[in-house]
Amino acid sequence: MNKTSVDIESIGWHFDNTYSRLPDTMLSRIRPVPVKKPSIAILNHELSKELDLDLSVVNDDVLSLIFSGNVLPDKSNCIAQAYAGHQFGHFTILGDGRAVVIGEHLSKKNQRFDIQFKGSGQTPFSRNGDGRAALGPMLREYIISEAMHYLGIPTTRSLAVVKTGETVMRETPLQGAILTRVAASHIRVGTFQYLIATNNEENLKTLLNYSIDRHYPDIKNTDNLALNFLKTVISKQSKLVIDWMRVGFIHGVMNTDNMTISGETIDYGPCAFMDDYNPETVFSSIDLQGRYSFFNQPGITKWNLARLAESLIPLIDNNKDKAIKIATETLNSFDEFYKKNWLSMMRKKLGLFGEEPNDESLIFNLLSWMNQNKADYTNTFCFLMNENFASNDIYKNQDFMSWKKKWQNRLNIKNNSFEKSLKLMRSVNPLIIPRNHKVEEALEAANNNNLNPINNLIEILKNPYQIQEKNSEYCYPSPESDKKYQTFCGT
Ligand code: AMP
Ligand code: MG
């Protein structure tokens, strides 16, 4: 063993690779393609502690070798996963075209994490792509995924971004980078779709059992595994999208290959947070029809879950018609489940306890007022929580004042104290979200080798529900001139 490999092991990897033992048709054994001159852009020390990795035992040069994949840990077992996906409604066979899972790391608490390098070079699934990623989009994934984590929303996380020292050609030449992504797993709706599309029922069953063992062992001994699995994923994904709706997050590319069965948010491409409330908001430059607009997210979640249900049909019942009937009924439970839980979430945002017949109209009246008056989604709730920084002439508007009176009357029902409501509101309404102009500012500086803004931004994003003097500049939406914010896939 040479010095470098000793160093690499000493950070504390503890691999136990199970996915790589699945049938060969489900993956490709491929290693990261080494890069020219790796250097660390950013490291996530908090996350490394949660993983029980000690990054302090080696220097940055060694860390850049580790997180570029130029040198691999002894017990890693690199694979690119095969999957398919409906991309903007069109079915395609895909697979990791620019990523490899180097293994599953176990923390000391025995939690299992996929460690994936994204941007690690070509694989058999690359199609016409170069297998690489650019610095901006990888740092963007780092920022937003960490923001989501601290907002308390299930998400993959980001452990490191390494610059490759190579140029990637997009519309312009860009600095290349590799992101180390940490996930409960990378099993997607599209992984199931891949097996059904390739008529591989045996492996479909294997994947189902594997997924249940890994994520949902509680349902392992139930009668209809496929059906209970479907029900569980429906519940996980509807809760996830409600969390997105709570904070104004727009994923932007909710293709079925970008929907996990673990219920974590995955694949931060053209995502962004909404400033002024408009249900039709779309940031992604390629989402011309608004398929993945803010308002469409729950419907698309259900659409994606329908693709999962379709893939599970042969495992739900031997009688296909019966299986379709059961799957359809199960899927349709999404609507009621979503509505009930969305209302409950919105009640919390408004500090409402119990249920009153007019709650729904109270909620919709506020949303519609925000939409008509271009009120900031995040800051309107801050205003209702008496956060002074959100004071704005817009809230002196007559319609708003009369809505507020109704809201206050509703709050006072059953002698509820405002203090109690405020506590509830504070637990769900972020004061800080990654504002688009702040993200862009940080990325631009990082592209010019100044990592201070990104580090400052991430520090602020760690306490989204707390206000501090120093973070007030992060509380405002983009200046007027930035209103037509657009995001790009960055592939
Ligand atoms: P995404 O839009 O990131 O979800 O990617 C969709 C599919 O395209 C996945 O199969 C990716 O692995 C693949 N892909 C994206 N960018 C590249 C690239 N630069 N080279 C190869 N494959 C890519
Ligand atoms: Mg993807």
Tell me if 467 CB under 6 Å of ligand 1: no
User: Do 329 and 360 sit in the same domain of this protein?
Assistant: no
CA 8 vs. chain centroid, Å, equals 29
Pocket test for ligand 1, best of 33, 98, 116 (most atoms within 8 A of CB): 98
Kindly identify the ligand whose nearest atom is closest to the C-alpha of 260.
2
Residue 6 binned pLDDT confidence (cut-offs 50, 70, 90): low
pLDDT at 427: 98
pLDDT, tens digit, for every residue of 91-122?
A: 999 999 999 999 999 999 999 999 999 999 99
Closest C-alpha to 315, from 193, 200, 201, 190: 201
Tell me if 96 CB under 6 Å of ligand 1: yes
User: Do 227 and 288 sit in the same domain of this protein?
Assistant: yes
Indicate whether 54 belongs to any domain.
yes
The protein residue whose alpha carbon is closest to atom 13 in ligand 1 is 97
The domain boundary residue, chosen from 296, 328, 343: 343
Using the predicted structure, report yes or no on whether residue 144 has a pLDDT greater than 60: yes
Indicate whether 85 belongs to any domain.
yes
Total number of domains constituting the chain: 3
The domain boundary residue, chosen from 298, 317, 343: 343
d(CA 479, CA 491): 28
Using the predicted structure, report yes or no on whether residue 490 has a pLDDT greater than 70: no
User: Do 337 and 359 sit in the same domain of this protein?
Assistant: no
Indicate whether 203 belongs to any domain.
no
Whether residue 165 contacts residue 36, with contact meaning beta carbons closer than 8 Å, is answered with: yes
User: Do 395 and 466 sit in the same domain of this protein?
Assistant: yes
pLDDT, tens digit, for every residue of 310-336?
A: 999 999 999 999 999 999 999 999 999
pLDDT, tens digit, for every residue of 185-224?
A: 999 999 999 999 999 999 999 999 999 999 999 999 999 9
Report which ligand 1 atom has the smallest distance to the Cα of 269. 3
User: Do 31 and 169 sit in the same domain of this protein?
Assistant: yes
pLDDT, tens digit, for every residue of 339-382?
A: 999 999 999 999 999 999 999 999 999 999 999 999 999 999 99
Indicate whether 106 belongs to any domain.
yes
Tell me if 276 CB under 6 Å of ligand 1: no
Residue 1 binned pLDDT confidence (cut-offs 50, 70, 90): very low
User: Do 374 and 410 sit in the same domain of this protein?
Assistant: yes
**H/E run at residue 6:** helix 3-10
d(CA 434, CA 441): 11
The protein residue whose alpha carbon is closest to atom 23 in ligand 1 is 97
User: Do 182 and 245 sit in the same domain of this protein?
Assistant: no
DSSP designation for 217: G
Mapping DSSP onto H, E and C, the string for 408-461 reads HHHHHHHHCCHHHHHHHHHHHCCCCCCCHHHHHHHHHHHHCCCCHHHHHHHHHH
Cα(368) to ligand 1 centroid in Å equals: 37
pLDDT, tens digit, for every residue of 153-178?
A: 999 999 999 999 999 999 999 999 99
pLDDT at 259: 98
Using the predicted structure, report yes or no on whether residue 390 has a pLDDT greater than 70: no
User: Do 127 and 75 sit in the same domain of this protein?
Assistant: yes
Q: Which percentage of the chain shows pLDDT scores above 90?
A: 91
Closest C-alpha to 113, from 18, 193, 202: 18
Q: Distance of CA 80 to CAs 49, 167, 187, 476, Å?
A: 27, 23, 12, 41
Tell me if 258 CB under 6 Å of ligand 1: yes
User: Do 53 and 84 sit in the same domain of this protein?
Assistant: yes
Using the predicted structure, report yes or no on whether residue 489 has a pLDDT greater than 80: no
Cα(27) to ligand 1 centroid in Å equals: 16
Kindly identify the ligand whose nearest atom is closest to the C-alpha of 284.
1
Report which ligand 1 atom has the smallest distance to the Cα of 95. 10
Tell me if 98 CB under 6 Å of ligand 1: yes
Phi, psi angles (nearest 5°) of residue 221: -100, 25
Report which ligand 1 atom has the smallest distance to the Cα of 123. 21
Closest C-alpha to 81, from 219, 234, 260: 260
Report which ligand 1 atom has the smallest distance to the Cα of 168. 19
Full residue range of the structural domain in which residue 436 is found: 350-491
Task: Pull the structure tokens for residue 115.
Answer: 């460690």
Residue 37 binned pLDDT confidence (cut-offs 50, 70, 90): very high
User: Do 365 and 324 sit in the same domain of this protein?
Assistant: no
Cα(262) to ligand 1 centroid in Å equals: 21
pLDDT, tens digit, for every residue of 374-386?
A: 999 999 999 999 9
Active site members? 257
d(CA 491, CA 327): 35
Tell me if 284 CB under 6 Å of ligand 1: no
d(CA 395, CA 44): 39
Using the predicted structure, report yes or no on whether residue 255 has a pLDDT greater than 60: yes
Indicate whether 196 belongs to any domain.
no
Sign of the Cα torsion 153, 155, 159, 164 reads negative
d(CA 464, CA 135): 25
pLDDT, tens digit, for every residue of 214-252?
A: 999 999 999 999 999 999 999 999 999 999 999 999 999
The domain boundary residue, chosen from 301, 326, 343: 343
Tell me if 34 CB under 6 Å of ligand 1: no
User: Do 334 and 288 sit in the same domain of this protein?
Assistant: yes
Indicate whether 21 belongs to any domain.
yes
Report which ligand 1 atom has the smallest distance to the Cα of 491. 16
Indicate whether 242 belongs to any domain.
yes
User: Do 252 and 369 sit in the same domain of this protein?
Assistant: no
Indicate whether 334 belongs to any domain.
yes
Tell me if 28 CB under 6 Å of ligand 1: no
